[in-house]
Amino acid sequence: MPLKAKICGLTTPQTVRAAAQAGAAYIGFVFYEKSPRNISPERAAELAAEIPASVTLCGVFVNPSDEQLTSTLAHIPLDLIQLHGTETPQRCQEIKNHFKRPVMKAIAVTAAQDITAAKAYENTADILLFDAKPEPDQANALPGGNGLRFDWQLMKDHQCNMPWMLSGGLDAGNLETAIAISGAAIFDVSSGIELRPGAKSIPKINAFMAIINKDNR
């Protein structure tokens, strides 16, 4: 299966162009005020003009209200709504029904039971994203983008009846290991391609995508 990547948390035209030109299948904008990668819907719409129609445009939300989703979608025509909070399967279904968009649900993982619990979303979400759960005592932890990894061996024999992504602590230095261990076909990266939180590095984007593209040759 060809490998794909989601480059997430972009905030500048230069990094959007770099991600698209490097072959990212998904590009993500973060609509969460507490994140250093937060962006306004208006600015995201400007950046989205740089993105080819072949790339899936993803919006990342944390426990969004209908009002936030309505306001965001009025500015930018997202292809995929990513829910990275504590949204229930029922809430996922409500959002899908109301906004007529596919939904990706992020699953926070520390142990095998977290992956098993994700099955509750298989009838409501369209795609799952398995990310590392923040440490309980981690100061200023975000729902995602903390640069943390979980044990990728947990995914190796996971039987999932829907598409899924691997996230959490990925970068060009460990991506090949993640590919070999996890069995994932789609990889989501944010902090691993940054110079500092919120500031993406074009060389790091290119290095990450070079590995994705190499495995597709």
- Provide mean pLDDT across the span 23-43: 96
Phi, then psi, of 81 in degrees rounded to 5: -105, 120
- Angle at which helix 41-48 crosses helix 66-75, to 10 degrees, equals 40
Percent of the chain's residues with pLDDT above 90: 75
Instruction: For 172-203, write each residue's pLDDT tens digit.
Output: 999 999 999 998 999 999 999 999 999 999 99
Q: What is the pLDDT of residue 61?
A: 97
Q: Is 77 left (phi over 0), alpha (psi -120 to 50) or beta?
A: beta
How far apart CA 69 and CA 123 sit, in angstroms, is: 22
How far apart CA 85 and CA 121 sit, in angstroms, is: 13
Q: What is the pLDDT of residue 142?
A: 52
Where residue 146 falls among pLDDT bands split at 50, 70, 90?
Answer: low
129, 188 Cβ separation under 8 angstroms = yes
Q: What is the pLDDT of residue 138?
A: 47
Instruction: For 99-145, write each residue's pLDDT tens digit.
Output: 999 999 999 998 888 888 899 999 999 999 999 876 555 445 555 45
Return the H-helix or E-strand segment holding 126. none
Cα-based torsion angle of the residue sequence 202, 164, 105, 47 in order, rounded to the nearest 10 degrees: 30
Beta bridge partners of 29: 59
Where residue 50 falls among pLDDT bands split at 50, 70, 90?
Answer: confident
**For the domain that residue 100 is a member of, what is the CATH number?**
3.20.20.70
Specify the higher pLDDT residue, 124 or 160: 124
Q: What is the pLDDT of residue 141?
A: 53
129, 165 Cβ separation under 8 angstroms = yes
Q: What is the pLDDT of residue 217?
A: 56
Domain containing 48 equals 4-214
Domain count, the chain: 1
How far apart CA 214 and CA 217 sit, in angstroms, is: 5
Q: Which of 163, 180, 164 is nearest to 215 (CA)?
A: 180
